[in-house]
Each structure stands twice: as C-alpha cells, then as structure tokens.
Amino acid sequence: MEKDAQLGLWFPCLTFSSLIAIVIRWAVSLHPYSGERKPPMFGDFEAQRHWMEITVNLPVSEWYFNSSKNDLMYWGLDYPPLTAYHMQLCGTIAEKINSTWVALYSSRGLESYDLRLFMRYTVLVADVLVYFPAVCVFCKLFCQSTNTMYKAVVALVMLLQPSLILIDHGHFQYNCVSLGLTLWGVVGLGCGHDLLGSIAFTLALNYKQMELYHAIPFFCYLLGKCLHEDTFYRKFVKLGSIGCAVLATFLLCWFPFLTSKEMVMQVVHRVFPFARGLFEDKVANFWCTLSLIVKMKNVMSQAKLVQLAFATTFVLVVPSSLNLLMKPTFKRFLIGLANSSLVFFLFSYQVHEKSILLAALPLILLLPNCSFPIMWFHTVATFSMSPLLLKDGLLIATTSLLVIFVTATLNVFNPLQSTRTKFTYVASCLGMASLQFGLSFVTPPEKYPDLFQVLISAYCCAHFLIFLAYFHYLQFRFDSSAVIYWSPNEQTVAADVDKKTL
C-alpha cells in the first residue's frame, strides 16, 4: 500500500517539477538570442533556421556540398545526419505553417515575431520530449531514496542546470537532444539494457559529433562488462551483439549518404572541420590559456597542432579509461564520463566554449552524491561562457539562473556544511563576480581589448584543471562495493571515499 501511495505521488510531483522547469525555460527564451539583428550572419539562431531551409528545399545529396543553391560559407551544415533529419522535420512543419520561414534564399535573416516563436517552441518541445523524461527516469531509477517527493525535487534541481538552459533557450541551440539521448544511453546501461543504451548513445553521436567526449567511457564500460562475463562464449556474444547494434544504428543514420564514397567523405569533412583552428574565441581550456604565454599557431603547423592535441588528450584520458575497463561499475562509469569530457574540453582540438555542456551532463547526475564540488563546477561552467552570454544580451538571465540553481542546491543538498567549503566557494565566486563586473562595465586598455575575456578563460581553466584532478582522485578511490544513498536523511557508506571529500 505504501509503495502504491508513493507511486501515486510520483506523477503529480514530477509534473509540478517539470512545469517549473518549463516556465523558467520559457522566461529565458524571452531574452535575446545569438545574432539577433546582427547581419550579415546573424548567429546560431539563423544557422539552425537555415539548416531547416536547406534540408526542406534541397535533396539529401546536396545538403553537405557547396553549390549555387547551398553556400557553405553561409552557415553550411556541419553536424551529423541525425541533426539534418531533425532540421528537416522542423522545416517541414515550418513550411506547413508559413512557407516564407524556410523559403530558399529569401528567408535568410528573417526575424519576424511568429518565426521566433516557432523556433523557440521547437527547442522547448525537443527538450521536453527527449531530455526531460531522461532526467526523470534517471532520478526515479537511481535515486535510492524511498521518498517520492525527494526524487521529484532532485529531478527539478537537475533540470535547472543553468548552462544548458542558457545555451539552448537563450543563445539558441538543440543540445538537449544529443545530451538527452546520451542520458538515455546512461539509463539503459544502468538498468542492464546494454543494447538499448548503446543504440541511444550511438544516436546521440550521430546527432552531434562532440559526443565523442563521452565515447571512450561508454566503450570501456561496455567492453569491461563483456570481459567480466563468465565464459568466452558469453563474452563473444555480448560484445558481438553490442557491436552489431552500434553498426546497424550507424548504417541506418547514414544510409541516404552511402551512395558514394565522395558523399561520405564530404559529410565527414564537414563534421570535422580541422581547418578552424585549435580553439574558438576565448575558451576556458588549456590551449587558450597557454596562448597567453606561447602562441602555438606561430610555433607549430596546423597538422602538428592536431597531432599534439590528439596525443595530449589520448594520454590524459587513458588512466580513467583503464580504471573503468578493469572495474566497470555504474557509479565509476558516471565519474569516468565526467573525467573524459573534461579532458577533451581542456586538451582536444577545436574546442568551443559551449563544449563545457558535455562535462556538465555527467556531473549534474552526480549532484546528490557530491553536491559541493558539483554546485561549484556548474557555477564556474556557466561563468566560463559569460563573454558569449553577455554578447547575446543574456547577463540578467545568467545571473538569475545561477541564483535559482545555487539556492535550490543549497536548500535540497546543503553542500556548504563546513567553514572550509563556504570560504572556498565564496572566494571563488568573488573572483568571478569581479571579472564579470570588469567585463560588463569596465573599458579595457586599448592595447588589450580582450583583457577580461582572457582573464575569465584563464580563471575558469584553472578551476577546471582542479576539478579534473579531483574527479580523477574520486574515481580511483571509489569502492565498487560502496553504496551511496542520495537521500540526505539516509546514511552514506563509502569504504574508499572519505566522506569529507564528498
């Protein structure tokens, strides 16, 4: 009876949490977006709309090729096929409502109110259909508290992750789709449905190539589980079935492009644009920070920079990957996802500031387990994008979302229990506030026009390096037999993890 009562409470509590998250997303969407009233390229809003225009009006064979009808210099499609199919679906709906929104050529730069409303709805619907249910199912299955209301509150706090809301519903993108599919993959693996989990992650990888940040932990975790099977036959069957499922999903996604080698290579070329450079803008990673001292592009050729970034990333991702391969437990898998994505963000080639969202996903899942470092990380992650968000006119939205997220985390998980954690967090936030004030209101010296952007990227990079070291420490000290309860009312048992470090 008690179980039935708890189940009966789950849906109304979850509905209430979801409605709050939706209202906040819609409030953010009322702010400006990337490139608003900024010709000739306009920004990411126009990029997504233009992809709808291209996929609706041109045959598949022309989507990724430069032509008189498809100028790749004007927001050419550079994401994998699943993104293109999604844009085609949205474009088809747009064409039914108002064909001028996606008319070839003439729709470029269109910013009418009804179009903006439609575009905002496409992101919200994608978020609610893909990301929301993945978060809710994760909390339902893996939040080990028996309190249904607590699970719903945890889901709400996770849905209030500020960086994702700001980029998707403010700046304007569809990261909720790839991250939601990845989370479905995590849920599948956590439930023991390895085939379904592998298919979900493969779909995520075919939606955004940046999901490669998560690919190595998925591979090592699944391979580790296969190697730990009792017999060679079971190892072979499990590994073979997963491989076939992944290959079949890839073939299904790429099927329209498999008509020629030229078409496949063109899609790959567009998806991995190495010519763009080591990093974009002032991103809070190692290479951008190092450029304050050494201009790597003046020292090494582009080919050498690609090799250097690849080698550095590979070497640094190996330790956590081998640990996960040898000890493939689910909680270690979640930490491994965070470590891999942080290594890729800090050291891989062609990193954008928005790529921090790839690290933010696995870390938001760990929020109930180690709330202080996770809350701190998400504060820094959001701040690291402040130059981009300020340029988009999202300063008020950014500040408001950070206050909401931190307040919710403090009230639900009470992470600042010791004087040391309070001092550390407050000192870090004061540094961020000072740099944000300088970026927003202080005119930099004429000789250094990007002074505050550079200081912000270096400041956040230092934080991310500390987080990388900490989460590696956590993964290697984690005991696979430990039971970590998420509820604050239940005891935390962790044989190898000192409670103070959490």
Q: Per-residue pLDDT tens for 122-143? A: 999 999 999 999 999 999 999 8
Helix (H, G, I), strand (E, B) or coil at 196: helix
pLDDT tens digits for range 239-277:
999 999 999 999 999 999 999 999 999 999 999 877 676
List phi, psi (to 5°) of 483: -115, 115
- CB neighbours of 495 closer than 8 A, spacing ≥ 6? 479, 481, 482
- Which of 172, 53, 34 is CA-nearest to residue 108? 53
pLDDT confidence of residue 478? 67
The string of DSSP codes covering 100-148 is GGG-TTTTTT---HHHHHHHHHHHHHHIIIIIHHHHHHHHHHH---S-H
Q: How far apart are CA 244 and CA 79, in angstroms?
A: 24
- If one compares 24 and 450, the residue with the highest pLDDT of the two is 24
pLDDT tens digits for range 366-381:
998 889 999 999 999 9
pLDDT confidence of residue 3? 56
Q: Would you say 281 and 233 are in contact if contact means Cβ atoms under 8 Å apart?
A: no
Largest CA distance in the chain: 71
Helix (H, G, I), strand (E, B) or coil at 20: helix
**Average pLDDT in the 295-312 region?**
87
pLDDT confidence of residue 490? 32
Q: Is the pLDDT of residue 29 over 80?
A: yes
Q: Would you say 346 and 458 are in contact if contact means Cβ atoms under 8 Å apart?
A: no
**Average pLDDT in the 223-247 region?**
93
Lowest-confidence region among 300-314, 332-346, 443-457, 484-498: 484-498
Predicted structure pTM score: 0.92
Q: How far apart are CA 120 and CA 394, in angstroms?
A: 15
- Using CA atoms of 176, 177, 180, 186 in order, give the dihedral in degrees to the nearest 10: -130
> At 303, which helix (H) or strand (E)?
helix 302-326
Per the prediction, the chain carries an average pLDDT of: 90
- In the chain, the percentage of residues whose pLDDT exceeds 90 is 75
List phi, psi (to 5°) of 484: -105, 110
DSSP state of 26: H
pLDDT confidence of residue 479? 55
Question: Crossing angle, helix 395-413 and helix 2-29, to 10 degrees?
Answer: 160
Q: Is the pLDDT of residue 484 over 60?
A: no
Name the β-bridge partners of 196. none
How is residue 104 written in tokens?
């070839």
pLDDT tens digits for range 168-200:
999 999 999 999 999 999 999 999 999 999 999
- CB neighbours of 379 closer than 8 A, spacing ≥ 6? 402, 406, 425, 428, 429, 432
How many residues does the structure list for the chain?
A: 502
Q: Which residues of 109-132 are buried (b: 16+ CB within 10 A; e: fewer)?
A: ebbeeebbebbbebbbebbbebbb
pLDDT confidence of residue 303? 84
List phi, psi (to 5°) of 351: -105, 135
Q: How far apart are CA 194 and CA 213, in angstroms?
A: 19
Q: Is the pLDDT of residue 500 over 50?
A: no
Q: How far apart are CA 309 and CA 211, in angstroms?
A: 17
Lowest-confidence region among 5-9, 30-34, 43-47, 81-85: 5-9
**Average pLDDT in the 68-84 region?**
93
* Matching residue, tokens 């225009």: 53
pLDDT confidence of residue 236? 92
